[in-house]
Structure 1
Amino acid sequence: MAFSHPALLVLVRHAESARNIAKKGSVYFADDAARQVVRGVPDHLIELTPDGRKQALQTGNGIRERFGTFDYVYTSGYARTEQTAEGILEAYPAAERSAMRVKPELFIRERDSGFAYDMTTAEAEAAFPWLNEYWQTFGGFMARPPGGESLADVAGRVHMFLVELAARHAGQKILVVTHGGTLRCFRFLLEGWSYSQAQQWPEGGAPANCGVTTYRGTGSGLELEDYNRVYWTVGSSTDGI
């Protein structure tokens, strides 16, 4: 069968990061003590926790056993996705690793959270007293955090990435290591979600750290095979970005 898209697209959310632990699933930091470990560290430099590195290693074993090698491995270029990819690829012998090209891709970076990136809940409410009403009005897909991106903005660049995959990697096996918000945009585009479906993850539907989502190429496009399969047993974080 001739493909006009990848034959296999495997999406992996990055492993547990230091910021996941510090924020504990909240939009903002609970207080100054909670943010001290990561305060002042830009999003692209946030690293994995020790448990996160173990998650990546265990996930690599599951991915290699199930899918074998890939033609290309894409990361967002952020430290936590690059470290996750490195952990996954450690499951492969050197000869297999050398055959897979690893590339950073700016289009699949996480959503820019804007000016409130390092704020506590109290600081954000004081700085942007109108924000909660605005968010409720426009919803979690269309609303932009102050100085940041909406998920609709992120979907625009994910769309460009998918166009590039179709043009450059038809019939190939592609592994993508990215972020929770970006994964929602992949699903919005690949599965034809409505705006209302994309507003928020359904109850219990947010991707786990190192959750693996698989799309197989068919004659009509990329079709979801399974979502958020977890191969690791150490650690437990599923929150944050």
Structure 2
Amino acid sequence: MQRPALLVLVRHAESARNQVKKDAVYFADDAARRVLRGQPDHDIPLTDDGHLQAEQTGHVIRERFGVFDHVYTSGYTRTIQTTDGILAAYPPDERKRMPVDMNIFIRERDSGYAYDMTEAEATSAFPWLHEYWQTFGGFMARPPGGESLADVVGRIHQFLDLLDRDRAGKRILVVTHGQALRCFRFVLEQWDYDRAERWPPGQAPANCGVTVYEEADDRLELIEYNTVHWTVGSPEDGS
């Protein structure tokens, strides 16, 4: 076997930035931004609801999948806290059998200089950006100072190569980010560029959405996508 036997991908639970921005590209206004201004992406924590989402998801993950051979996070605060919430469902003896590692390859896409901007500020600072985005599309275009999704695919490839080399036949849990999940799907499901341009309607990854791949014929086959197991608020709140 040249692949993990099981790969479970989980988007982090609701973060403070999700709550304020509702997953919009920019802050709506300065009042919304003021809550989090100056806080780097890797330090954004979960909300109270996010902690509950992770804990509720953890009970279902343990019931369905049992003990994993290895767990990975991106090292961002919100993925670490989500992982802690999920693993809290496991008794101490099982928890000790699941090493947790940080891997920088599965971090969120770098959004660049407009990270803390409102839409009006971004339009003023980068008046050419809309036309550039329309020309190159959302998969190839790079936000100023940031990464394209195609760039992220490169490091997701590296992470999956690591799993193939070091975790063949193992059961793996990965807690990662929404845009990284899109890139996992590009690689694992062999999307073409047209398919990668946008999520199909209703398929944006939810907070703590669970996506499952199983090894079949020396490849990882999608078994389920973006299943939500928590009941705090509504699944659409963090998608």
TM-score range, shorter chain: over 0.9
Cα gap change, 1:238/1:153 in structure 2, threshold over 3 Å: closer, same or farther?
farther
User: 1:239 Cα shift?
Assistant: 6.6
Structure 1 counterpart of 2:199:
201
3-state SS, counterpart of residue 214 of structure 1:
strand
With normalisation by structure 2, the TM-score equals: 0.98
Structure 2 counterpart of 1:228:
226
* Aligned mate of 2:211, from 206, 210, 213: 213
Question: Where do residues 1-241 of structure 1 align in structure 2 (5 Å cutoff)?
Answer: 3-236=1-234, 238=236
> CA contact under 8 A between 2:142 and 2:148: conserved in structure 1?
yes
User: 1:219 Cα shift?
Assistant: 2.2
CA offsets 1:193-238 (integer angstroms, 9 cap, x no match): 1111111111111010000000001123100000001110003364
Kindly, what percent of the aligned residue pairs are identical?
69
The one-letter code matched in structure 2 to 1:70 is: F
Following the alignment from structure 1 to structure 2, what is the Cα–Cα distance between the partners of residues 20 and 200?
20
CA offsets 1:140-173 (integer angstroms, 9 cap, x no match): 1000000000000000000000000000000000
Task: Extract unaligned runs of 5+ from structure 1.
Answer: none
> CA contact under 8 A between 1:206 and 1:238: conserved in structure 2?
no
> CA contact under 8 A between 1:135 and 1:143: conserved in structure 2?
yes
User: 1:26 Cα shift?
Assistant: 1.3
Following the alignment from structure 1 to structure 2, what is the Cα–Cα distance between the partners of residues 235 and 59?
14
> CA contact under 8 A between 2:71 and 2:101: conserved in structure 1?
yes
Structure 1 segments (4+ residues) deviating >4 Å: 237-241
